Amino acid sequence: MSSSDVLAPAFVAPTRYRGAFGRLYRSEVRLILGRRRNLAMLVVLSIVPLLIGIAVKVSTPRGGDGPQFLGQITGNGLFLVFTALTVGMPLFLPLVVGVVAGDSVAGEAGLGTLRYLLTVPVTRSRVLTVKTLGVLTFTATAVLVVGLMGILAGGILFGLHDVTLLSGDTVSLGNGLLRTLGVIAYVVVALFGLAAGGVFVSTLTENAIAAMATTVGIAVLSLLLDAVPQLSGLHPYLLTHNWLGFGELLRGQVDTGALLSWSGLHLAYAAIFLSLAWARLSTKDVTG
Amino acid sequence: MTTVLERPHTPEPAPAAALVDLAIATQGLTKRFRTGQVAVDGIDLDVPRGAVYGFLGPNGSGKTTTIRMLLGLLSADDGEVELLGQPMPGALARVLPRVGALIEGPAFHPYLTGSANLRRLDASDATADPATGGARIAEALARVGLTAAQGKKFRHYSLGMKQRLGLAAALLQPRDLLVLDEPTNGLDPQGTREVRNLIRELASDGTTVLVSSHLLAEIEQVATHVGIMSAGKLLRQGTLAEVLSDGAAVVRIATPDVAEAAALLQGMGLQGVQPDPAREELRARLGDVAAEEVARAVITAGVRLRGLAVERPDLEDLFVALTGEGFDVLQ
């Protein structure tokens, strides 16, 4: 013991309260869902299935063109969910996820609130964990909004019936709803890779707008590469390649192996991005 | 010099200093930026427990960089930091709950109200009792006079209100140490007085306060200790009395007989005699000579005396003497 220890009143570390992380998480979710910008994005997302539904309802049926599942909507409102997700996946959902993920750390750094969060103190790994969980919660909320609005609008406009699967088998509505839940879960996992990328980008800058644009840029770049046939060897490993793989859940014999390996890829992306984010944030000099 | 008697301990360096109970202690603390510029150059900060430590320096002298290193926001390139006797940043999670901080101005979420911002900070503090959160927030707001404005969105706050909210955040929990970087920035004279009183009040409860400022008159009124930084170096540190005693006292004599008086003072061994016949006065450094000796000698010699005053340099004179006069940012 050094002499200063003898003279100093013994340092008593303050008591930590149980459930502290839960409080922080709830505060983070409140912060994200309380922002008008984020609510507006959810409203826009909820309009997507409604618009598709109305468009299909008022137009005369036409075969052939249009996004996946469009033809089946008139037969069963449940397919509105899948159509809306197919339409939302390349643009709307990555945009919404990109905005919230890009804002996560960079937004706080830009405002200067990151330095106050860190001196509360919230440890850096805890900041990263709560920010990631917040983004993931918002992502799930966004996909759920599309799903629920799809079921609602589809049910009202076309009715919900037993589901004729892509393979031709028919399953009960309950089974169909269960598969819908699976589709929603798959989409959330698929978007988690991008969300984690956004959190990583967000640790690199104090400029939230730049982080948002970069995150959306990651998705766009992956979609572009996926569209170049010469790069077909690369395609299976692209972030966005299996984003629409949820169609697999609508077959009589679900290829769980494929679904698991695709989900594994998304989670691998998430793990890599989050490791990078942790390496960056834990050593970052916070000057903002 | 009588000030010597007021010193609580002899200002002997290293071994003696280790015996004093320090709230903040750094050794050779250094920060280099990627440009190679040395922002903080091996400083040994000693802030005794219970002190109000005025941390002074011109803009860009390294005060804020030092404060950020103390709180674990920046990593030090060299040197060590102890806060409340615990090593930083190793003991960060245990120490910082006892430390309230205002760092380079307040920062809050603009679209949340004042009280919602404090709730956000309280919710992120694992050592804050959720059951008393509402009461503590109300008390902190009342303490800085923001109760009436707590429901307003932060972005509608004036600069002074933002500063007050920053102070309220630092006071959400009982603290052993407060680190306040420019706490009176943007406050009107009334608000400045309130902050001064707040600091005094907190210090009298035993809280150690490190307050950085370039408003020297402010510091001189509340500080027990000061440290003066310039260009990344800690030029001087000690109790206020110690640091002020560095500057030599000057005697100013008003008399029509300037030439006789000047000769007399020189004869008494005073240095730096400056006669100013136009204004009918002269100045000289007192050195070891007592002012009353000068007065008696002047009168005895028949010099017509209109006035005699002793001027001690204030913190501002000393500060300028140490850090230079100009407007130029040194780094």
Q: What is the pLDDT of residues B44-91, one digit of tens each?
A: 999 999 999 999 988 888 999 999 999 999 999 999 999 999 999 999
* C-alpha separations of B133 from B151, B173, B293 in Å: 16, 9, 63
Residue among B71, B85, B126 whose CB faces A4 most closely: B85
Which residue of A lies nearest to B86 if distances are taken between CA atoms? A11
**Residue A286, SS3?**
coil
- The residues in B 240-299 lying below 8 A from A, measured between CB atoms, are none
Q: With an 8 Å Cβ cutoff, is B110 touching chain A?
A: yes
pLDDT at B15: 42
What does the alpha-carbon distance between residue B216 and residue B316 come to, in Å, rounded to a whole number?
6
| A102/chain B closest Cα distance in angstroms | 16
CB contact under 8 A, B128 and A17: yes
- Judged by a CB distance cut-off of 8 A, whether residue A121 touches chain B is yes
pLDDT value of position A61: 61
For B64, which residue in chain A has the nearest alpha carbon? A287
B97 interface with A at CB cutoff 8 Å: yes
pLDDT number for residue B325: 62
Render each residue's pLDDT in chain B as its tens digit; 331 residues: 333 333 344 444 444 444 568 999 999 999 998 888 899 999 999 999 999 999 998 888 899 999 999 999 999 999 999 999 999 999 999 999 999 999 988 999 999 999 999 999 999 999 999 999 999 999 999 999 999 999 999 999 998 899 999 999 999 999 999 999 989 888 888 888 888 898 999 999 999 999 998 778 888 889 999 999 998 999 999 998 888 876 677 889 999 999 999 999 888 888 888 888 899 999 888 877 888 888 899 999 889 999 998 887 777 777 877 777 654 555 4
Residues 9-68 of B with CB under 8 A from A: 18-22, 25, 49, 68
Write out B118-141 in H/E/C secondary structure: HHHHHHCCCCCCHHHHHHHHHHHH
The closest alpha carbon to B107, from A22, A6, A261, A286, belongs to A286
B101 touches chain A (CB under 8 A): yes
| Chain A nearest-CA residue for B122 | A120
B21, B96, B130: residue with CB nearest A7: B21
Q: How far is A18 from chain B (nearest CA, A)?
A: 8
- Whether residues A27 and B119 touch (CB distance < 8 A) is answered with yes
**Chain A residues closer than 8 Å to B121 by CB:** 116-117, 120
Residues A101-155 have pLDDT tens digits of 999 999 999 999 999 999 999 999 999 999 999 999 999 999 999 999 999 999 9
Strand B46-48 and strand B22-32: pairing? antiparallel
pLDDT tens per residue across span A63-99:
556 677 777 887 888 999 999 999 999 889 999 999 9
Give the percent of chain A with pLDDT over 90: 77
What's the token pair of residue B135? 């009461």
Residue of B nearest to A107 (CA): B109
Q: Is A227 on the interface with B (CB under 8 A)?
A: no
pLDDT given at position A264: 96
Q: Which of B19, B24, B31, B73 to mutate to test the interface with A (most CBs of A within 10 A)?
A: B73
Buried b (16+ CB within 10 A) or exposed e, B150-183: beeebeebeebbbbbbbbbbbbbbebbbbbbbbb
Q: Residue A6 above 90 pLDDT? A: no
- Three-state DSSP at A283 gives helix
What are the φ/ψ torsions at residue B45 (nearest 5 degrees)?
-90, 130
pLDDT of B321: 76
Predicted ipTM of the assembly? 0.88
Kindly tell me if the per-residue pLDDT of A195 is higher than 70: yes
Tell me which chain B residues have a C-beta less than 8 angstroms from the C-beta of A37: none
From chain B, pick out residues whose CB is under 8 angstroms from the CB of A112.
104-105, 107
Query: Contacts of residue B105 in chain A, CB cutoff 8 Å?
Result: 112
